[in-house]
Structure 1
Amino acid sequence: MTSEQWGPAVRLLWGPPPAGPARGPKRGLTLEGIARAGIEIADAEGLGGASMQRVAAELSVTKMALYRYVPGKAELVALMVEGAMPESAQSTGGPWRERLEEWARGLLEGLRLHPWLLEATVGVRVMGPRELEWMERALAALDGCGLTGAEAMDAVVLLAGHVRGIAEQERAAGAGPGSGAAGEGPDAQLAAVLGEVMREHGERFPALGAALASAAAHGGRDQALEFGLGRILDGLELLMTRRADGD
């Protein structure tokens, strides 16, 4: 979507609801209902299944009737993203690390519930109130920590990138909630796939073999989210400490 095309999405996400048809059996059609129909389709079939035609059929209206509310697929996806993003709970204060840890886990849960959000939330695009509330919450946690505005923004992008990477791995491995027993996440699945190869060729890859053996000895638990999150926050804390000390 180019800058010239952002206007319709801005109006849908931030402006007053568009007026529906004055007469007819579908006077109750709303943007929220349209978004909900698209979300249900995308949850079941992926983002590609949520076409204007498919959403119109789900709502028992014609495609042309849907266009009276939503001008195209890009705007439909923008509404779906806004509707699928979980509401960001208001911060109750507390240490910045705890607030960002909670933020990261909440974001991952949202991506687990609606995996197609990974595809829908890339590139330069118009963001709705809920999505910006997530960014606001993370930046508020870093307020007063000694980072510049640009550094705080970069820190949030880094955290979001880590969360997205974990969600992408889970999506590819089919390891989201309800997909299997504990220990069947991406790391465990990778170990199972590599098991036969390592039995035959393990001497060529001693470091990999040792890492896999160590993971198995500790139950094969997937801790990539917590490990990466901890290291990112450690780095931020070190920067803050050095800055506070005048280094």
Structure 2
Amino acid sequence: MTADFFWAPRPRPTRGPKPALTLEQIADAAVAIADAEGLAAVSMQRVAADLGYTKMSLYRYLSSKTELVAAMMERALGGSPQISARADWRDALTQWATALLAAYESHVWSLEATTGRRPVGPHEIAWLECALRVLPPGLTGAERLDAVATLAGHVRMIAGQHGGAESDLADAMSAILRDHAASYPAVVAALSEVADEGGADNAFAFGLARILDGLESLLERRVSR
């Protein structure tokens, strides 16, 4: 794995046949496999076979599965969202988080792909740049990075639940609580209220709003000092 995988100029061969593939074609084939069968199904051998080439031919473009997965993430994540310069910071960060959630949910393997040491590409840094750019003034550099990390962590947690998880969990607990309600009165009360008044599966919007409330409150306290 090389840290400058996306950034170092790629040598152009002066002899021999011209490259028959592009890194984008290879990554797109790998993404298609991961979308259908999961990240574990992706290998250099499998991608090469799906493209109609030998495994060794892929090593002209990347040196390992780690680099392949990094290239997949660049294609899956895509460019950062286009946010209007007129949007206030809360709306802008809501748009950013919503777009990131959509990207993760479109490629469920991407959560696994973005852990551990790996090459970081221009799209991923552009997403960070986008979020940092729309944060309001009044935060230190460390706080700006932590704010984005907190937002991204919330998005990842929700994406990992795979839509409808709250309702599924509530259904599972309801079946258990029919026989054990007396031991868990707070859980019973909360589930009963949801059944009567609704509001399930709102963890993304609720949590996002509370994170933004916290940032706003912090900034207001600093201004009032």
TM-score range, shorter chain: over 0.9
Alignment of 1:202 with 2:185, yes or no, is no
Give me the whole-angstrom Cα distance separating, in 1, the residues matched to 2:177 and 2:14: 65
Map 1:143-158 onto structure 2 (within 5 A): 144-158=136-150
Give me the whole-angstrom Cα distance separating, in 1, the residues matched to 2:28 and 2:13: 17
Deviant stretches of 4+, over 6 Å: none
1:99: Cα distance to partner? 0.4
Question: 1:108 touches 1:163 (CA, 8 Å); kept in 2?
Answer: yes
Give the fraction of aligned pairs with identical amino acids, expressed as a percent: 50
Instruction: Name 1:238's counterpart in structure 2.
Output: 217
Question: 2:29 touches 2:50 (CA, 8 Å); kept in 1?
Answer: yes
Correspondence for 1:138 among 131, 140, 144: 131
Amino acid aligned to 1:65: S
Map 1:1-247 onto structure 2 (within 5 A): 5-7=1-3, 10-11=4-5, 13-19=6-12, 23=16, 27-93=19-85, 94-142=87-135, 144-170=136-162, 175=163, 185-219=164-198, 221-246=200-225
Give me the whole-angstrom Cα distance separating, in 1, the residues matched to 2:45 and 2:119: 23
Instruction: Name 1:178's counterpart in structure 2.
Output: none
Give me the whole-angstrom Cα distance separating, in 2, the residues matched to 1:197 and 1:104: 34
Amino acid aligned to 1:136: E
Change (3 A) 1:20 1:117: farther
User: Which runs of 5 or more residues in structure 1 are unaligned?
Assistant: 176-184
Deviations 1:93-116 (A, max 9, x none): 221110001111100000000011
Amino acid aligned to 1:15: A
Give me the whole-angstrom Cα distance separating, in 1, the residues matched to 2:81 and 2:10: 25
Question: 1:52 touches 1:66 (CA, 8 Å); kept in 2?
Answer: yes
1:20: Cα distance to partner? 6.3
Give me the whole-angstrom Cα distance separating, in 1, the residues matched to 2:13 and 2:68: 16
1:187: Cα distance to partner? 1.1
Amino acid aligned to 2:150: L
- SS of the residue aligned with 2:201? coil
Q: TM-score, normalised by structure 1?
A: 0.85
Change (3 A) 1:34 1:22: farther
User: Which runs of 5 or more residues in structure 2 are unaligned?
Assistant: none
Question: 1:36 touches 1:80 (CA, 8 Å); kept in 2?
Answer: yes
- SS of the residue aligned with 2:147? helix
- SS of the residue aligned with 1:71? coil
CA RMSD of aligned residues (A): 1.7
Give me the whole-angstrom Cα distance separating, in 2, the residues matched to 1:89 and 1:195: 40
Change (3 A) 1:18 1:212: farther
**How many residue pairs end up in the alignment?**
224
Q: TM-score, normalised by structure 2?
A: 0.93
